[in-house]
């Protein structure tokens, strides 16, 4: 075990502890590589659906994945955050930091949250070097998302009952260089299993579904 | 996938997403049960040493564990927190929430942090029902910890250069009902592997090292 003194941010007299069992060992145990699949897109674009479908697909291949759902985390880790610009950024930062821990633990972590601003997503990307951050852009037209409106939120936003709703009165900044972009083909949306297959295939091609 | 509308804390219009792959499935894949081993004690009491030793012991048995080190997290997830009473409580809350996620993912999560106040530790315990929170109390005498002083912090605290240092000018509230208590025997400290063996043995006896 190594201890290294440092002073970062608000923290002073904080040591860094290194341990004998490392990321490589855990990856060997799991026969996969830890990474963070970051699913971004409008409300109703199918992020949670893809997350679940991908989770199932990976499980069927004997791989260990875990979903960090932006909504679910607001019940726990992020329950002291609201929807101000500052709180939204902190919300995303925390998900990125936790995703980084899961990736370090060797898991294929699947984060699913609107994450509308490029700056916030890129800050998370910067936390995971070596192609371990895989951005998946759910590029579905607003009309399609609004038409679905499974949660009834667009209706509320259009009625002015929710303010700062992404796509309505708050911007969504599309990724400029996402690893994967999912969109409609010939006017129809890909099925959940088609989307999951595409992401799993990307992970496989990039060597993330084996440890060596 | 189920969506359930709710309003909790600062969050409104937040849905809960449930997924097909559950904790039980992940536990089956790993052949273990997710839980949170919470190591508490004074600075220098051997928390990190035990965490590392336990991590190695579990790895040698083919089990997947992951250490959440209080100091290390202050470089990432908790880097925006200081050492005020409020920030310390939030620091511990976040570690508890993340530990809960790791346990849900099926891992044996090992949290190592002073966590001096009973109230904060009990709040974490409450997050993990069903005996999935295992409190390990490093019950080493202050004199022994101060004598070690591997980080030189006691010296700084005695010199008044660090304020509110646990054991010196801030209290440590010992657990009243920890699952495991580690202490000196006949005037000598247990070795790291003896301590790890004791914890691993507890986990085994309580069925946490197999999935069924």
Q: What is the pLDDT of residues A6-26, one digit of tens each?
A: 444 444 455 666 677 999 999
pLDDT of residue A18: 63
CA distance A107 to chain B (A): 9
Q: Which residues of B touch A9 (CB under 8 A)?
A: 74-75, 79-80
Question: Nearest chain A Cα to B63, which residue?
Answer: A29
The whole-chain average pLDDT of chain B stands at 92
If DSSP states are collapsed to H, E and C, what string results for chain A?
CCEEEEEECCEEEEEEECCCCCHHHHHHHHCCCCEEEEEECCCCCCHHHHHHHHHHHHHHCCCCEEEEEHHHHCCCCCCCCCCCHHHHHHHHHHHHHHHHHHHHCCCEEEEECCCCCHHHHHHHHHHCCCCCEEEEEEECCHHHHHHHCCCCHHHHHHCCCCCCCECCCECCCCCCCCCEEEECECCECCCHHHHHHHHHHHHHHCCCCCCC
Measured between CB atoms, which of B66, B75, B151 is closest to A105?
B66
Q: What would the pLDDT profile of B60-93 be if each residue is shown by its tens digit?
A: 999 999 999 998 899 999 999 998 889 999 999 9
A79 and B106: CB-CB below 8 Å? Answer: no
Residues of chain A with pLDDT > 90, as a percent, come to 84
CA distance B54 to chain A (A): 10
Residue A2 has pLDDT above 90, yes or no: no
CA distance B188 to chain A (A): 21
Angle, CA of A33, A38 and A43, to the nearest 5°:
155
Residue B18 has pLDDT above 80, yes or no: no
Measured between CB atoms, which of B26, B56, B76 is closest to A21?
B56
Two tokens, residue B136 = 């390990």
**Contacts for A92 with CB less than 8 Å, ≥ 6 apart:** A113, A115, A120, A121, A123, A124
pLDDT of residue B16: 62
Two tokens, residue A147 = 């038409």
pTM: 0.92
B17 and A94: CB-CB below 8 Å? Answer: no
Q: What would the pLDDT profile of B139-195 be if each residue is shown by its tens digit?
A: 999 999 999 998 899 999 999 999 999 999 999 999 999 999 999 999 999 999 999
CA distance B11 to chain A (A): 6
Catalytically annotated residues of B: 115
Write the ipTM.
0.91
Question: Nearest chain B Cα to A93, which residue?
Answer: B77
A101 and B98: CB-CB below 8 Å? Answer: yes
- The pLDDT-based confidence of A4 (bands split at 50, 70, 90) is very low
pLDDT of residue A20: 79
Average pLDDT over residues B203-211: 97
Question: Nearest chain B Cα to A74, which residue?
Answer: B11
Question: Nearest chain B Cα to A62, which residue?
Answer: B29
pLDDT of residue B91: 96
Q: Which residues of A touch B102 (CB under 8 A)?
A: 101-102, 105
Residues of chain B with pLDDT > 70, as a percent, come to 92
Q: What would the pLDDT profile of A55-111 be if each residue is shown by its tens digit?
A: 999 999 999 999 999 988 999 999 999 988 899 999 999 999 999 999 999 999 999
Two tokens, residue B160 = 């008044």
């Amino acid at each position: 075990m190594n201890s290294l003194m440092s002073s970062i941010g608000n923290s002073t007299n904080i040591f860094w502890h290194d341990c004998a069992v490392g990321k490589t060992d855990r990856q060997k145990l799991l026969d996969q590589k830890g990474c963070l699949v970051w699913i971004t897109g409008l409300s109703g674009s199918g992020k949670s659906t893809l997350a679940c479908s991908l989770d199932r697909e990976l499980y069927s291949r004997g791989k260990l994945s875990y979903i960090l759902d932006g909504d679910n985390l607001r019940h726990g880790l992020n329950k002291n955050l609201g929807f101000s610009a500052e709180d939204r950024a902190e919300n995303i930062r925390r998900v990125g930091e936790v995703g980084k821990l899961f990736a370090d633990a060797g898991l294929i972590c699947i984060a699913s949250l609107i994450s509308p601003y490029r700056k916030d997503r890129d800050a998370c990307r910067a936390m995971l070097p070596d192609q371990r951050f895989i951005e998946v852009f759910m590029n579905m037209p607003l009309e399609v998302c609004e038409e679905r409106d499974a949660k009834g939120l667009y209706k509320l936003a259009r009625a002015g009952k929710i303010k700062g709703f992404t796509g309505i009165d708050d911007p969504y900044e599309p990724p400029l260089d996402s690893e994967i972009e999912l969109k409609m083909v010939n006017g129809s949306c890909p099925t959940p299993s088609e989307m999951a297959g595409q992401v799993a295939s990307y992970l496989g091609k990039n060597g993330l579904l084996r440890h060596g």
